[in-house]
Amino acid sequence: MRLVIACFASALLSSLFTVWLTSENSTAVALAQSGTGLEFPSKPVFNDEKPVVPQTRQQRPEVENASFRMTNEEAISVAVYERVNKSVVNITTQAQGGGIFFRNVPAEGSGSGMVIDTHGHILTNFHVIEDANRVEVNLFDGSSYEASLVGADPVNDIAIIKIDAKQDVLHPVTLGESSQLKVGMKVYTIGNPFGLERTMTTGIISSLNRTLQVRENRTIKSIIQIDAAVNPGNSGGPLLDTQGSLIGVNTAIASKNGQNAGVGFAIPVNLVARVVPQLLQYGRVIRPEIGIQHVYETDAGLLIETLTPGGPAEQAGLRGPKVVSQRRGPFVVERIDRSVADLIVGIDGQEVQSVDDFLTYIETKKPGDQVVIDVLRDGERTRITVKLTGTAPRKTSL
């Protein structure tokens, strides 16, 4: 009997122990599967050693070693700039300002220009260096030179100045052709707007054969209109085609405030090419002289006001106003009788409507040429042949 009770007690204790173990294991599994992220480290957490953090292997992004690619349009722009930028110069000027009650104060100006040969000749606008007492030219390498005036043509706003620089820093621009230009063609300008040297802008030819007034009663014909940005300081800089050849000289902008408004103008290179050789040789353009100093524009034609005494027109028989003297009591009064003056209505068979038309045609001739002037005299049309003369070169200086 005691043996049976002992066996039963032993079995009961064994069963209770098994139940306890099963309960402990269930708790551990529940904690591990609960997603709490709790772990039981094999070492105490408060020790001097830092716990080891497992590292995941990260993939580094692959960097392509591909060369930079430009579009065809960008490549052309870069090529044009690299070809021409060393030809462009920055021009600064000083002129004495002031008046009766003020001391003369130097007034500074700036513009652009371009090297045209290895002798130091620089092409720019006349208005850039007009009235300047001192002209300074800065080249691409930062070197600076004082310039002297070689020649100027105020009528066409063109001037040539010269610096004494070594040939290895002089990179002449390549002359292009402006007679074959078309509206819509791509163009480039390089200049010094606001003193920012050798700045490049791009655009297109917006129109051709514009007329630009540069002096009283005088205009430049065949002007190129562009939409490339042209700002103060760009005057005298080159207008270039896609080959990097010179097709014009930037000269003006159409703006109410003097800033770029998308309308710029350039003198065509073919006109420049006709003028520059005379500026280099004579210092000025040798224009044919007809000997008519002043006319009045009327609806019917050009009424002669003043003839050059002994000039070609007077020698040919053209007539101006007549001074008539009248006695009024003890006084002699003189008056001008314009009714006897010739009214110019044509030249070489072409109708004349303005002073600019007349002078522009004369400039297509050379000294020694003859022109036939159509005039109205005493109500009748008369033709008079005039032989043009030339004026002697005049010395130019700053």
Per-residue pLDDT in tens (0 to 9) along the chain, 398 residues: 444 444 555 555 555 545 444 444 444 333 333 333 333 333 333 334 444 434 444 444 444 444 578 899 999 999 999 999 999 999 999 887 655 544 555 567 889 999 999 999 999 999 999 989 999 999 999 999 999 999 999 989 999 999 999 999 999 999 999 988 999 999 999 988 887 888 899 999 999 988 887 766 667 878 999 988 777 788 899 999 999 999 999 986 554 445 555 688 999 999 999 899 999 999 998 888 899 988 988 999 999 999 989 999 999 999 999 877 777 778 877 788 888 899 999 999 999 888 878 888 888 888 899 999 999 998 899 999 999 997 644 444 44
Residue 157 bears catalytic tag = yes
Token pair of 294 as six digits? 């002043």
- Per DSSP, 392 falls in state P
Number of Cβ within a 10 Å radius of residue 283? 19
Q: What is the dihedral of CA 154, 219, 288, 235, to 10 degrees?
A: 30
Residue ranges covered by each domain of the chain: 86-169, 186-282, 288-390
Q: What is the pTM of this model?
A: 0.67
CATH top class, domain 186-282: mainly beta
**b/e burial code for range 130-153 (CB count within 10 A of at least 16 → b):** eebeebbbbbbeeeebebebbbbb
Q: Which of 153, 157, 227, 342 is catalytic?
A: 157
According to DSSP, residue 369 is labeled -
Distance CA 236, CA 274 (A): 17
Cα–Cα distance, 158 to 284 (Å, whole number) = 10
CATH architecture, domain 86-169? Beta Barrel (2.40)
Q: Is 119 a catalytic residue?
A: no
* DSSP 8-state assignment for residue 262: S
The confidence score (pLDDT) of residue 117 equals 96
Those residues with Cβ within 8 angstroms of residue 302's Cβ, 6 or more apart along the chain or in another chain: 295, 296, 343, 344, 345, 352, 354, 355, 358
Helix (H, G, I), strand (E, B) or coil at 251: strand
* CA angle, residues 195, 228, 182, in degrees to nearest 5: 140
Find tokens 């027109």 and name the residue.
313
Side chain identity at 367, as an amino acid letter?
Answer: P
Fold annotation for 288-390: Pdz3 Domain (2.30.42)
Annotation marks residue 15 as catalytic: no
> Considering 77, 127, 255, 356, which one is annotated as catalytic?
127
**Amino acid in position 180:** Q
| Residue 109 near residue 95, CB atoms below 8 Å | yes
Extract the tokens encoding 290: 């007809």
- Intrachain domains 186-282 and 288-390 with the same fold: no
For residues 236 and 140, what is the distance between their CA atoms, to the nearest angstrom?
Answer: 16
Whole-angstrom distance, CA of residue 63 vs CA of residue 42: 43
- Give the separation between CA 20 and CA 24, rounded to whole angstroms: 6
CA distance 190 to 247: 13
Q: In the chain, what is the straight-line distance between the N-terminal and C-terminal CA atoms, in Å?
A: 145
Chain center to CA of 182 = 19
pLDDT digits (tens, 9 = 90+) for 42-56: 333 333 444 443 444
Q: Give the list of residues 6+ apart from residue 278 with CB closer than 8 angstroms, or none.
A: 151, 153, 284, 285, 286
CA dihedral sign of residues 370, 155, 99, 255: positive
Catalytic residue, chosen from 110, 178, 235, 245, is: 235
